Amino acid sequence: MNLLVNNAGVGGGTLLGDLQAVRAALDVNFWGTLSMARAFAPVLAANGGGSIVNMASSASWFVFPGSSAYAVSKAAVWSMSRALRQELAGQGTLVASVHLGAADTDMMKGDDVPKMDPAAVARITLDGVEADAVEVVVDEFTEMVKASLSEDPREFDKQFHRLLNP
């Protein structure tokens, strides 16, 4: 085995909402991802290093209305990916985080937003791993979100809300 893909994701609502839902989002999205990385890091080391791919989200960098618990958990996945990259560098393991807006999955069922084909997300992700990328930004929306990090976040929030409410 030389590739671990951590593709865990549940919502969780808002931080001021149901605390059990917030904990569930962190349990699955962060703790589940970390548990898998810890379990498979020795296997990857024994097989020459390999790669760990953590499916993060554009929500790592931007809070969508009503999904702050998810955003916090995916921001933790992004930060964890950066930390694991340092901790596993000595064994030759690449750790990459993947960021996208929305894919056509069961989690997004019923959401009226543009969604990517999951097969396209997988292709872009594997291309990124092949290119030794540590962050794979899958779509144009997520590129805009990442670029906004160096700006006043309120400006991007205004732009996003104008898109939602034309």
Provide the residue ranges of all domains of the chain, joining segments of one domain with +. Answer: 3-164
Distance (Å, whole) CA 85 – CA 52: 9
pLDDT for 106 equals 56
Tell me which of 30, 40, 70, 141 is the catalytic residue: 70
pLDDT for 110 equals 65
Residue 85 has pLDDT above 60, yes or no: yes
Distance (Å, whole) CA 137 – CA 127: 11
Residue 114 has pLDDT above 80, yes or no: no
Q: Token pair for residue 114? A: 């543009």
pLDDT for 38 equals 99
pLDDT for 7 equals 92
CB 76, CB 37: distance < 8 Å: no
Residue 6 has pLDDT above 70, yes or no: yes
Q: For residue 139, what is the DSSP state?
A: S
Residue 162 has pLDDT above 80, yes or no: no
Residue 108 has pLDDT above 60, yes or no: no
Percentage of residues of the chain with pLDDT beyond 90: 59
SS3 55: strand
Residue 104 has pLDDT above 60, yes or no: no
Distance (Å, whole) CA 29 – CA 55: 9
Q: Token pair for residue 14? A: 């808002």
Assigned fold of 3-164: Rossmann fold (3.40.50)
Compute the average pLDDT of residues 6-21. 91
Distance (Å, whole) CA 121 – CA 103: 8
Catalytic residue list contains 8: no
71-85, 122-136, 143-157, range with the lowest pLDDT: 143-157
